Structure 1
Amino acid sequence: MTTFDDAVVAGVTGHMNGDHGTDNLLIVQAFAEPTATAARMVGLDSVAGDWVADVDGVEKAVKIAWPEPALDRPSIRTQVVALCMQAYDKLGIEKSEH
């Protein structure tokens, strides 16, 4: 497992939470907590992303594996998009542009 420096993690989580809040929720609903009503990305490494999900008013930590390892910053984006596309498929939702 590869960890990324704090600046990379902050950049990715900041972007996901600022621009892709709905995608965070769909990923969490598809792969971990179907009844979640909110989710925010809080961390990541080369094998998975970490989210906090609101489930019945309680925050729950969620770790979801990437489809393939993310070995550098560009591949993090690739894996987040792939995971999001899989979430759309699993939930039967029309895909948005990324």
Structure 2
Amino acid sequence: MTHTFDADVIAAVLRHMNSDHHDDNLLIARAFAAPSGTEITDAVMTGFDGDGGVWQISRGAVSELRVPWPGGPISDRPAVRREVVAVYDAACARLGIEPRPHA
């Protein structure tokens, strides 16, 4: 069964991702959305659960992108950061971009 996080945890992560990591959201969307040749102009993280993250992406039309957590299902708050970073790193690898160091 998919783990559901508390609303406060979801709100905090989404606030952080959408205010501090807009460029990372775009990079993730460009790496994982199909078809990859279509230019994505905007991406906003809209949710997540124990199985993966969800982004609303724009490329002429708005659609939803779901990306599974690279490490598999998660069920605690510290794992959310770890898996979002892993999605970012995987997106960089797909796009041939050097990821920035993580603090």
TM-score range, shorter chain: over 0.9
1:96 to 67, 77, 100: 100
More deviation in 33-42 or 3-12?
A: 33-42
The residue number in structure 2 matching 1:44 is 48
Corresponding letter in the other structure for 1:59: V
**1:28 Cα deviation (Å)?**
1.0
The residue number in structure 2 matching 1:64 is 67
3-state SS in 2 of match to 1:18: helix
**1:70 Cα deviation (Å)?**
2.1
How is 1:1-98 mapped onto 2 (pairs within 5 angstroms)?
A: 1-33=2-34, 34=36, 35-56=39-60, 58-67=61-70, 68-98=72-102
More deviation in 74-83 or 28-37?
A: 28-37
What is the distance in 1 between the residues matched to 2:11 and 2:27?
Answer: 21
Deviation per CA, 1:60-93, whole angstroms, max 9, x where unpaired? Answer: 1111111122211100000000010010011011
What is the distance in 1 between the residues matched to 2:98 and 2:6?
Answer: 34
Runs of 5+ in structure 2 lacking a partner? none
Runs of 5+ in structure 1 lacking a partner? none
CA RMSD of aligned residues (A): 1.0
What is the distance in 2 between the residues matched to 1:79 and 1:70?
Answer: 8
